[in-house]
Amino acid sequence: MGGIPNSLCNNTNLRILDISHNSITGTIPQCLGKLYGMANSIDVGGPDISHNFDEGMVQVLKVVALEYKETLSFLIKMDLSIIKLVGEILVQLTRLHELVGLNLSNNYLSGRIPEQIGEIRASILSIFY
């Protein structure tokens, strides 16, 4: 058991963060709001990552399944569900405007949902706690 390490935030071009269903505890690090690849439209450069997967990828949040084949490089998601997080939903997460999916469900989060959460363009937003 342990918290989400701040060193994770050094991966500025991170586009998919899925640490769900783990024995992680603690609060959401403020530095997650500085993940450049989730906050800005970026040219990932190099080879198109969608060609690295023959089958593509299926993202499942709650009961909705979204399939990405040709557009895998556009998938930007953060899944922090079912990991025993405590504290508030940080306003810093609302800076991640490019998120397609954000899942914070099944944690022990408290407080109010930040008003700025509507600035995220996520098509799937699951924050129930």
Residue ranges and CATH numbers for the domains of the chain are 6-126 (3.80.10.10)
Which comes out higher in pLDDT, residue 57 or 108?
108
Q: Which two tokens stand for residue 30?
A: 């403020």
- Report field, pTM of the whole predicted structure over 0.85: no
Higher pLDDT, 112 or 122: 112
Evaluate if residue 72 carries a pLDDT over 50: no
E-only strand ranges, the chain: 16-18, 57-61, 64-68, 77-79, 86-87, 101-103, 108-109, 124-126
